[in-house]
Amino acid sequence: MSGDLSDYRKEIDRIDDEILRLLNERSKSVIEIGRLKKQQDSGANLHTPAREAAIIERLVQQNSGPFPSDAIRPVYREIMSASLSLEGPQKVAYLGPRATFTHMACMQKFGSSAQYIPVNSIKDVFNEVERGRANFGVVPIENTTEGVVNHTLDMFIDSNLLI
């Protein structure tokens, strides 16, 4: 490339167009995987955190730069969040309100394409998931004021839900 700013911008536009094409190609595969999962097991959970973690770890290991490895996680968290949303909204109940540590943990784990449901108590988070109004729940296990949140641990003993 000659070093002309407009040439570099055109190259970035071309690359961005290719990234978009590849994201849509990836989405088609995601939709097909979701269809197969539903076909094989109607109660199948489309969200597979272990698979997502393995994908991200593989990409971080493969990264030769200059794209920062630390940026791969949030970029792919959003790609995966958007991919999950193709199968329907991923509803996540959390101990609200917005902008709390619990809400931030939700965003970090599930990305911006999930639908977040703030509730008033830890018990309400469990209830939302148990009743099927949320696919997932996020509750504090520890906090700065009381250390281990015993109420959360008690709820896990009384519930069939898993961490």
Domain containing residue 128: CATH number: 3.40.190.10
In this predicted structure, what is the pLDDT of residue 153? 64
The pLDDT score that the predictor gives to residue 44 is 58
Q: How far apart are alpha carbons 40 and 116 in whole angstroms?
A: 28
Is 6 a member of any domain?
A: no
pLDDT tens digits, residue range 109-151?
888 888 999 999 888 999 899 888 998 899 887 766 766 666 6
Give burial (CB, 10 Å; 0-12/13-18/19+) of 25: exposed
Report the helix count and the strand count for the chain, using DSSP H and E. Answer: 6, 5
pTM of whole model > 0.85?
A: no
User: Is 144 a domain residue?
Assistant: yes
The mean of the pLDDT values for the chain is: 85
Residue 150 placed within a domain: yes
Q: In this structure, is residue 20 part of a structural domain? A: no
Q: If you search the block for the tokens 């536009």, which residue do you land on?
A: 13
Q: Which residues contact 120 (CB under 8 A, 6 or more apart)?
A: 95, 96
Most confident of 12-16, 26-30, 77-81, 154-158: 12-16
Residue 102 belongs to domain spanning? 89-163
Q: What is the pLDDT of residue 119?
A: 93
- Band (pLDDT 50/70/90 cuts) for residue 45 is low
Alpha-carbon separation of residue 124 from 7, 43, 60, 73, 135 (angstroms): 55, 23, 37, 30, 14
Residue 131 belongs to some domain of the structure: yes
Domain count, the chain: 1
Cis peptide before 97 (omega within 30 of 0): yes
Domain-located, residue 143: yes
Q: State the sign of the Cα–Cα–Cα–Cα dihedral 64, 67, 69, 75.
A: negative
pLDDT at 150: 63
Q: What is the pLDDT of residue 144?
A: 66
Query: Quick one: tokens of 77?
Result: 């968290």
Domain assignment present for 139: yes
Q: Is the pLDDT reported for residue 33 higher than 90?
A: no
Name the band, by pLDDT with cuts 50, 70 and 90, for residue 6.
very high
In a domain, 24, yes or no: no
- Report d(CA 82, CA 110) in Å as an integer: 9
